[in-house]
Amino acid sequence: MIVVAEYETSVMPSCPACDAPLRAWGYARERAIGLPEGGLRRLRPRRVRCPSCRTTHVLLPPYCLLRRADSVHTITAALLDHVAGHSHRRIAERLHRPAATVRGWLRRATARAAFWRRHGMIYAYHLTPDAGPLQPRATELAEALDVLGKAGRAAQEQNADWAATDP
Protein backbone atom coordinates (compact mmCIF):
# COMPACT_ATOMS: atom_id res chain seq x y z
CA MET A 1 0.00 0.00 0.00
CA ILE A 2 1.21 3.50 -0.79
CA VAL A 3 0.61 6.43 1.51
CA VAL A 4 0.88 10.02 0.30
CA ALA A 5 2.43 11.95 3.15
CA GLU A 6 4.15 15.22 3.88
CA TYR A 7 7.62 14.39 2.63
CA GLU A 8 9.83 17.07 4.13
CA THR A 9 8.84 16.48 7.75
CA SER A 10 10.46 13.95 10.04
CA VAL A 11 7.14 13.02 11.64
CA MET A 12 6.08 9.56 10.59
CA PRO A 13 2.39 9.13 9.77
CA SER A 14 0.32 6.35 11.28
CA CYS A 15 -0.66 3.19 9.44
CA PRO A 16 -3.85 3.63 7.40
CA ALA A 17 -4.89 0.04 8.16
CA CYS A 18 -4.45 -0.12 11.94
CA ASP A 19 -3.43 3.43 13.01
CA ALA A 20 -0.16 2.25 14.63
CA PRO A 21 2.91 4.50 14.24
CA LEU A 22 5.03 3.59 11.21
CA ARG A 23 8.78 2.99 11.38
CA ALA A 24 11.44 3.74 8.77
CA TRP A 25 12.33 0.69 6.70
CA GLY A 26 14.75 1.66 3.97
CA TYR A 27 13.95 3.18 0.60
CA ALA A 28 11.83 2.24 -2.40
CA ARG A 29 13.27 2.00 -5.89
CA GLU A 30 14.42 5.20 -7.53
CA ARG A 31 12.02 6.67 -10.06
CA ALA A 32 11.90 9.66 -12.38
CA ILE A 33 8.98 12.07 -12.06
CA GLY A 34 8.11 14.16 -15.15
CA LEU A 35 7.97 17.93 -14.65
CA PRO A 36 5.87 20.40 -16.67
CA GLU A 37 8.96 22.03 -18.20
CA GLY A 38 9.85 18.69 -19.74
CA GLY A 39 12.59 17.69 -17.34
CA LEU A 40 12.73 14.78 -14.92
CA ARG A 41 13.22 14.82 -11.18
CA ARG A 42 14.88 11.79 -9.64
CA LEU A 43 13.18 10.51 -6.51
CA ARG A 44 13.94 7.70 -4.10
CA PRO A 45 10.97 7.62 -1.72
CA ARG A 46 11.16 6.53 1.89
CA ARG A 47 9.76 3.12 2.75
CA VAL A 48 8.08 2.48 6.12
CA ARG A 49 6.71 -0.55 7.89
CA CYS A 50 3.91 -1.00 10.40
CA PRO A 51 5.10 -3.06 13.38
CA SER A 52 1.54 -4.03 14.24
CA CYS A 53 0.07 -5.33 10.98
CA ARG A 54 3.48 -5.81 9.29
CA THR A 55 2.52 -4.05 6.06
CA THR A 56 4.95 -1.81 4.19
CA HIS A 57 4.18 1.59 2.72
CA VAL A 58 5.97 4.08 0.50
CA LEU A 59 5.86 7.76 1.45
CA LEU A 60 5.51 9.99 -1.59
CA PRO A 61 6.01 13.76 -1.64
CA PRO A 62 2.93 15.93 -2.22
CA TYR A 63 3.83 16.61 -5.87
CA CYS A 64 3.52 12.89 -6.78
CA LEU A 65 0.42 10.92 -7.65
CA LEU A 66 -0.11 7.23 -7.04
CA ARG A 67 0.92 5.07 -9.99
CA ARG A 68 1.82 8.08 -12.16
CA ALA A 69 5.23 8.92 -13.59
CA ASP A 70 4.37 12.61 -13.96
CA SER A 71 3.99 15.25 -11.27
CA VAL A 72 0.70 16.75 -10.13
CA HIS A 73 1.82 20.01 -11.75
CA THR A 74 2.30 18.37 -15.15
CA ILE A 75 -1.09 16.66 -15.19
CA THR A 76 -2.83 19.77 -13.83
CA ALA A 77 -1.22 21.90 -16.55
CA ALA A 78 -2.56 19.48 -19.15
CA LEU A 79 -6.08 19.61 -17.69
CA LEU A 80 -6.07 23.41 -17.54
CA ASP A 81 -4.85 23.62 -21.14
CA HIS A 82 -7.62 21.23 -22.19
CA VAL A 83 -10.26 23.34 -20.44
CA ALA A 84 -8.82 26.38 -22.26
CA GLY A 85 -9.57 24.62 -25.54
CA HIS A 86 -6.23 23.13 -26.59
CA SER A 87 -6.03 19.72 -28.27
CA HIS A 88 -4.28 16.76 -26.67
CA ARG A 89 -1.57 16.85 -29.33
CA ARG A 90 -0.76 20.51 -28.68
CA ILE A 91 -0.72 19.90 -24.92
CA ALA A 92 1.54 16.87 -25.36
CA GLU A 93 3.94 18.90 -27.47
CA ARG A 94 4.06 21.72 -24.90
CA LEU A 95 4.61 19.32 -21.97
CA HIS A 96 7.04 17.05 -23.86
CA ARG A 97 4.86 13.98 -23.26
CA PRO A 98 3.49 11.32 -25.62
CA ALA A 99 0.14 12.31 -27.14
CA ALA A 100 -1.41 9.00 -26.05
CA THR A 101 -0.44 9.67 -22.43
CA VAL A 102 -2.00 13.13 -22.45
CA ARG A 103 -5.11 11.82 -24.22
CA GLY A 104 -5.45 9.19 -21.46
CA TRP A 105 -5.19 11.84 -18.74
CA LEU A 106 -7.86 13.96 -20.42
CA ARG A 107 -10.25 11.05 -20.97
CA ARG A 108 -9.91 9.82 -17.39
CA ALA A 109 -10.32 13.32 -15.95
CA THR A 110 -13.39 14.00 -18.08
CA ALA A 111 -14.93 10.69 -17.00
CA ARG A 112 -14.23 11.44 -13.31
CA ALA A 113 -15.16 15.15 -13.38
CA ALA A 114 -18.50 14.72 -11.58
CA PHE A 115 -16.79 12.81 -8.76
CA TRP A 116 -14.05 15.46 -8.41
CA ARG A 117 -16.60 18.28 -8.51
CA ARG A 118 -18.77 16.70 -5.82
CA HIS A 119 -15.88 15.93 -3.46
CA GLY A 120 -14.18 19.26 -4.14
CA MET A 121 -17.39 21.03 -3.09
CA ILE A 122 -17.62 18.94 0.07
CA TYR A 123 -14.05 19.84 1.05
CA ALA A 124 -14.37 23.51 0.04
CA TYR A 125 -17.53 24.04 2.09
CA HIS A 126 -16.21 21.97 4.98
CA LEU A 127 -13.13 24.20 5.18
CA THR A 128 -14.94 27.46 4.38
CA PRO A 129 -18.72 27.30 4.99
CA ASP A 130 -19.18 30.83 3.59
CA ALA A 131 -17.31 30.05 0.34
CA GLY A 132 -20.24 31.24 -1.79
CA PRO A 133 -21.77 29.70 -4.89
CA LEU A 134 -19.79 28.02 -7.63
CA GLN A 135 -19.67 29.87 -10.94
CA PRO A 136 -21.08 27.82 -13.84
CA ARG A 137 -18.46 26.82 -16.43
CA ALA A 138 -18.64 25.47 -19.98
CA THR A 139 -17.82 21.88 -19.04
CA GLU A 140 -18.08 19.64 -16.02
CA LEU A 141 -14.29 19.27 -15.98
CA ALA A 142 -13.88 23.06 -15.85
CA GLU A 143 -16.29 23.20 -12.90
CA ALA A 144 -14.40 20.38 -11.18
CA LEU A 145 -11.05 22.13 -11.60
CA ASP A 146 -12.57 25.39 -10.36
CA VAL A 147 -13.99 23.84 -7.20
CA LEU A 148 -10.80 21.85 -6.52
CA GLY A 149 -8.85 25.09 -6.78
CA LYS A 150 -11.28 26.69 -4.33
CA ALA A 151 -10.83 23.78 -1.91
CA GLY A 152 -7.04 23.98 -2.26
CA ARG A 153 -7.00 27.71 -1.52
CA ALA A 154 -9.26 27.16 1.51
CA ALA A 155 -6.89 24.46 2.81
CA GLN A 156 -3.88 26.75 2.33
CA GLU A 157 -5.61 29.57 4.18
CA GLN A 158 -6.56 27.24 7.02
CA ASN A 159 -2.97 25.95 7.26
CA ALA A 160 -1.64 29.52 7.28
CA ASP A 161 -4.08 30.46 10.06
CA TRP A 162 -3.11 27.34 12.01
CA ALA A 163 0.62 28.04 11.61
CA ALA A 164 0.13 31.64 12.77
CA THR A 165 -1.55 30.50 16.00
CA ASP A 166 0.87 27.62 16.68
CA PRO A 167 3.10 28.50 19.68
pLDDT digits (tens), the chain, 167 positions: 455 555 555 677 888 889 999 999 999 999 999 988 878 899 999 999 999 999 999 988 888 888 899 999 999 999 999 999 999 999 999 999 999 999 999 999 999 999 999 999 998 888 888 877 778 899 999 999 999 988 888 888 877 766 566 55
pLDDT for 6 equals: 52
pLDDT for 163 equals: 56
pLDDT for 7 equals: 53
Size of the chain in residues: 167
Crossing angle of helices 72-83 and 88-95, in 10° steps, is 140
pLDDT for 153 equals: 86
Give 138's DSSP letter. S
pLDDT for 161 equals: 67
pLDDT for 111 equals: 97
Give CA–CA dist 143/138, Å, rounded: 8
The answer to whether 18 and 56 are in contact (CB under 8 A) is no
Q: What is the DSSP string of 8-40?
A: SSSPPPBPTTT-PBPEEEEE---EEEE-TTS-E
pLDDT for 1 equals: 46
Q: Is 2 in a helix, a strand, or coil? A: strand
Give CA–CA dist 34/64, Å, rounded: 10
